[in-house]
């Protein structure tokens, strides 16, 4: 059970509180302000071309360069997700629970009557969660939706082991984590959960490779293994040519892909994404959703928190929150982020071509008048 003196997130739609150094190792990121994308510095081959870019096989690699030629759909991914080492596997972390208390389910995440109450001032209490119960099975892609104040960010805090519930139970990979000590929760966060936030939380003075290696530094992994795993996940998200680039030399979409790679590097059992497209334009947002869909197709379990129905439409299951309760939980047929990217990119190319033709006609009319 947790102390009721804790305070809730100031805004349910704002970026989720960054985990401590044992999980995402963002202590240094606090001192180094998150980098702002610098589009003028993106000297990529695709941007140099007047053709719409071909979607990268790993990440959709969508740039915003426009043309009147439709883009080419991607091929199947060849890279695979990093596997956990025996020391990092869920069973290595799991302690034996009483047999009668273990949920009789194959679900990866089990939440039972989860409640969270915050104390504001002397006599004011806020019930952020009012008894949430749901299961998340291995390989699911779940979108948690709800307006500001619905409790979805509080729910993300609890299942991400960033906070502890007032009451109720939360099981992850067969382990009751809702009653763990702070040190035990830190180990779970570092080894079993990957986080992707609206803000990229990258170290400004470190290149992409060093940013991805950071969680492994805190988990005590040898230097050679850290580099090998970091290079592998950067290739997985299509950034093999940008490993030596610092955040200021990357676009917003590329920075978020670095953040996704960092979340995968310790081989988590679940990926938690809180408004991962919130700081991105529509086309780059589709690129990131394509990366998440590709990871899910490889078996990664993903729980995404968003207030945007369009972003939620790419998930396979939709859970809606209101006033700290689940009001709807349905399986849906997801949209293809790749197909949506092709459609939006083609529309933008056509619009740009129309603007150019209009300017040419106007110049000719003015010339004829002369």
Residue 70 class from Cβ within 10 Å (0-12 exposed, 13-18 middle, 19+ buried)?
middle
**pTM of the predicted protein model:** 0.72
Cα 12 from Cα 323, distance rounded (Å): 12
Sorted by where each begins, the domain ranges of the chain are: 27-91+105-369
Reduced DSSP (H G I as helix, E B as strand, rest coil) percent helix, strand, coil of the chain, to 5: 35, 20, 45
pLDDT at residue 62, rounded to an integer: 39
pLDDT at residue 359, rounded to an integer: 61
- Kind and range of the H or E element at 262? helix 252-264
Q: List, for residues 320-364, the tens digit of each pLDDT value.
A: 999 999 999 999 999 999 999 999 999 989 888 877 766 655 655
Task: Please state which CATH class domain 27-91+105-369 belongs to.
Answer: alpha beta
pLDDT at residue 362, rounded to an integer: 62
Q: List, for residues 1-45, the tens digit of each pLDDT value.
A: 444 455 555 444 444 444 443 443 444 433 444 444 444 443 344
pLDDT at residue 66, rounded to an integer: 38
- Beta-carbon contacts of 325 under 8 Å, excluding residues fewer than 6 positions away, are 129, 130, 131, 132, 151
Q: Which residues of the chain have pLDDT under 70?
A: 1-104, 357-370
- Beta-carbon contacts of 35 under 8 Å, excluding residues fewer than 6 positions away, are 200, 202, 204, 246, 247, 248, 250, 255
């Amino acid at each position: 059970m947790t102390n009721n003196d804790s305070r809730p997130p100031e805004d349910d739609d704002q970026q989720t509180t960054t985990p401590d150094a044992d999980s995402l190792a963002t202590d240094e990121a606090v001192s180094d302000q998150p980098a702002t994308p610098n589009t003028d510095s993106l000297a990529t081959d695709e941007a140099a071309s007047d053709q719409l870019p071909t979607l990268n096989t790993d990440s959709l690699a969508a740039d915003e360069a426009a043309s009147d030629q439709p883009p080419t759909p991607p091929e199947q991914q060849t890279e695979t997700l990093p596997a956990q080492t025996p020391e990092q596997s869920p069973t290595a972390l799991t302690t034996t629970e009483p047999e009668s208390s273990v949920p009789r389910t194959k679900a990866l995440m089990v939440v039972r009557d989860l409640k969270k109450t915050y104390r504001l001032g002397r006599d004011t209490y806020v019930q952020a969660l009012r008894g949430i119960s749901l299961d998340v099975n291995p390989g699911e892609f779940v979108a948690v939706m709800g307006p500001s104040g619905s409790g979805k960010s509080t729910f993300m805090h609890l299942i991400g082991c960033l906070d502890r519930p007032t009451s109720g139970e939360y099981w992850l990979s067969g382990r009751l984590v809702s009653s763990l000590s702070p040190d035990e929760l830190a180990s779970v966060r570092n080894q079993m959960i990957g986080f992707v936030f609206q803000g990229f939380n990258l170290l400004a003075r470190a290149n992409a490779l060093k940013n991805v290696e950071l969680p492994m530094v805190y988990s005590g992994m040898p230097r050679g293994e850290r580099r090998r795993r970091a290079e592998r996940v950067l290739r997985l998200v299509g950034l093999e040519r940008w490993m030596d680039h610092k955040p200021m030399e990357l676009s917003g979409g590329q920075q978020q892909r670095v953040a996704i790679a960092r979340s995968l590097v310790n081989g988590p059992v679940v990926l938690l994404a809180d408004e991962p497209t919130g700081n991105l334009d529509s086309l780059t947002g589709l690129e990131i959703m394509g990366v998440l869909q590709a990871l899910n197709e490889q078996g990664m379990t993903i729980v995404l928190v968003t207030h945007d129905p369009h972003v939620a439409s790419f998930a396979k299951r939709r859970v809606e929150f209101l006033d700290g309760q689940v009001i709807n939980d349905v399986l849906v047929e997801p949209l293809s982020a790749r197909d949506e990217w092709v459609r939006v990119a083609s529309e933008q190319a056509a619009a740009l071509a129309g603007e150019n033709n209009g300017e040419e006609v106007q110049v000719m009319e003015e010339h004829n008048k002369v």
